[in-house]
Amino acid sequence: MKIYTRKGDAGKTSLIGGVRVAKDNVRIEAYGTIDELNSYIGLVRDVCTDIVQAELLYKIQNTLFDIGSHLAAHPEKSVMKLPDINQNEIDEMEQQMDIMNDQMPPLAHFILPGGHVHVSYCHLARTVCRRAERHIVSLNKSQPVESLIMRYINRLSDYLFVLGRYYAHLLQVAEIMWIPER
């Protein structure tokens, strides 16, 4: 199988369902950013030393592929059976956030990304997740997106924030507090 087809050389690509759109279409931006996020999650997983979180990050990567397929499908022309997104996946992230939060001191200040490369990777993934969320919200204004997808991505950014704090805690790295200049 050849990787290149030359069909996208003029700045267009096909959605699932065969409809061709510009590569800067909001739908392409949405699933392209999900793909970028998946790469960052892979980086976070690569440095993860907590087996439970590493397994969850693997599940998250698979779910992001599922979400990408939903976003890549034309809402009227696609006949492909798409993988389900379910509330259990959101619940699992929430449970893990609660477990991690129970092991850390409460958040008392806004924190700045950094302090350790593992923490920074989580914040990079979190900010890409927020960008993906913005693209999905934009898409939802013109073509409805399944509400579970929007909830999942919102919760994922929360999870990545907590995971960054958790890494700092495990690595005994002080969180960098934001102190506004007066």
Q: Could you tell me if 68 and 41 are in contact, meaning their C-beta atoms sit under 8 angstroms apart?
A: no
The beta strands (E) that lie in the chain are given as 12-14, 20-22, 111-112, 176-177
Taken in order 93, 169, 133, 129, the sign of the CA dihedral is: negative
pTM of the model: 0.93
Count CB-CB contacts under 10 A for residue 71.
28
b or e along 81-103 (b: 16 or more beta carbons within 10 Å of the residue's beta carbon)? Answer: eeeebeeebbeebeebbeebeee
For 25-177, which CATH class? mainly alpha
Question: What are the structural domain ranges in the chain?
Answer: 25-177
pLDDT tens figures, 110-152 = 999 999 999 999 999 999 999 999 999 999 999 999 999 999 9
pLDDT tens figures, 160-175 = 999 999 999 999 999 9
